[in-house]
């Protein structure tokens, strides 16, 4: 699968050079307001400097870049299709219809292995997804039993982070790896996370929390779940941070020394 994926991705490489350091890292996101759906871009950590790329009518509920940070992938919730988004025109091009359980509401790409992972909108399970066939396979859990995942992220050392809520409306962050049980991190103090993303250039974790009316953007500590640098903006957001993993931040066994 991965050889096919790499060949396919090479045909879709953006003409924009990959940023050299964190200060140059751009974020691409779908913003949904009461009057518009559009792809926007802003410098990582600074959504107040947002610019509009173009209109985007699809309902994208997951976005992430491939490991080389050259191809922007997205998941369309309404059609349950996976595909690519052109970061210069905002055009979404489906590559496959998702097969298996419904409905996938978030996904992330392992920035080292390139494996696509997705979660449903009803429980704690996580699946791998083949972006060219749409086939999915159950891989395990990314939250505690009885919690429904709304956002996923994976860092350069294979550490997964999820945001999930329970039937009472409580929301928590969990740490996960395929093949192991999810571990509770804590409470961010926010509800309805729509997006979690690591900036692979420096390991920072960012999130969007909110509804169609307004959302809070924040930097999140992946160890304590504490948030900082918060800002409130109109709309609901799903984002992807365009940065690749530096070689000195990838461990040979795929695990950070102190998970």
In which residue are the tokens 């950070």 written? 256
Name the CA radius of gyration of the chain, rounded. Answer: 16
Helices H, strands E: what count in the chain?
1, 20
70 has pLDDT over 60: yes
Residue 64's domain comprises 25-242
Residues 153, 145: Cα–Cα separation, whole Å: 19
- What pLDDT sits at residue 250? 57
Q: For residue 178, tell me if it sits in a domain.
A: yes
pLDDT in tens, 213-249: 999 999 999 999 999 999 999 999 999 999 999 986 5
Say if residues 116 and 131 touch (Cβ distance below 8 Å).
Answer: yes
List the strands of the sheet with 136-141, edge to edge.
104-109, 116-120, 125-129, 136-141
Domain contains 10: no
The answer to whether residue 87 scores a pLDDT higher than 50 is yes
Query: What does the pLDDT look like over 20-59, one tens digit per residue?
Result: 444 589 999 999 998 999 999 999 999 999 999 999 999 9
Residue 92 covered by a domain: yes
Is the residue at 13 inside a domain?
no
Does some domain include residue 198? Answer: yes
Residue 253 lies inside a defined structural domain of this protein: no
Residue 4 has pLDDT above 80, yes or no: no
Entry field: residues in the chain? 259
Are 53 and 110 within 8 A, CB to CB?
no
Q: Is residue 14 part of a domain?
A: no
Q: Are 200 and 110 in contact (CB under 8 A)?
A: no
Q: How confident is the model at residue 76 (pLDDT cuts 50, 70, 90)?
A: very high
- Within-domain flag for 113: yes
CATH for 73: 2.120.10.30
Helix (H, G, I), strand (E, B) or coil at 47: helix
pLDDT band at 121 (very low <50, low <70, confident <90, very high): confident
Mean of pLDDT values over 8-30: 58
Q: State the total domains in the chain.
A: 1
Q: What is the model's pLDDT at position 211?
A: 78
What is the pLDDT at residue 23?
Answer: 56
Q: What is the overall mean pLDDT for the chain?
A: 89
> Looking at the predicted structure, is the pLDDT value of residue 97 above 80?
yes
Q: Which residue has the higher pLDDT, 95 or 252?
A: 95
pLDDT digits (tens, 9 = 90+) for 140-199: 999 999 999 999 999 999 999 999 999 888 999 999 999 899 999 999 999 999 999 999
Residue that is written with structure tokens 């990582």 in the block: 44
Structure letter (DSSP) for residue 145:
T
């Amino acid at each position: 699968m991965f050889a096919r994926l790499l060949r396919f991705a090479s045909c879709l490489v953006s003409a924009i050079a990959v940023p050299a350091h964190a200060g140059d890292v751009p974020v691409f996101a779908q913003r949904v307001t009461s009057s518009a759906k559009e792809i926007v871009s802003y410098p990582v950590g600074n959504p107040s400097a947002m610019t509009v790329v173009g209109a985007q009518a699809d309902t994208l509920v997951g976005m992430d870049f491939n490991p080389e940070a050259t191809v922007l992938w997205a998941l369309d919730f309404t059609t349950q299709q996976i595909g690519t988004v052109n970061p210069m025109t905002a055009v979404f091009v489906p590559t496959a219809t998702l097969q298996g359980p419904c409905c996938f509401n978030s996904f992330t790409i392992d920035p080292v292995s390139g494996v696509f992972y997705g979660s449903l909108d009803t429980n704690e399970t996580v699946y791998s997804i083949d972006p060219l066939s749409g086939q999915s396979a159950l891989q395990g859990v990314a939250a505690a039993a009885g919690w429904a995942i709304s956002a996923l992220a994976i860092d350069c050392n294979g550490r997964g982070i999820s945001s999930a809520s329970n039937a009472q409306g409580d929301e928590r962050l969990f740490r996960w790896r395929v093949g192991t049980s999810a571990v509770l991190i804590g409470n961010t103090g926010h509800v309805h996370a729509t997006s979690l993303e690591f900036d692979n250039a420096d390991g920072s974790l960012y999130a969007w929390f909110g509804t169609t009316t307004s959302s809070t953007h924040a930097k999140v500590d992946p160890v304590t779940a504490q948030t900082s640098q918060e800002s409130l903006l109109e709309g609901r957001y799903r984002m992807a941070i365009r940065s690749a993993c530096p070689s000195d931040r990838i461990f040979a066994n795929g695990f950070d020394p102190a998970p």
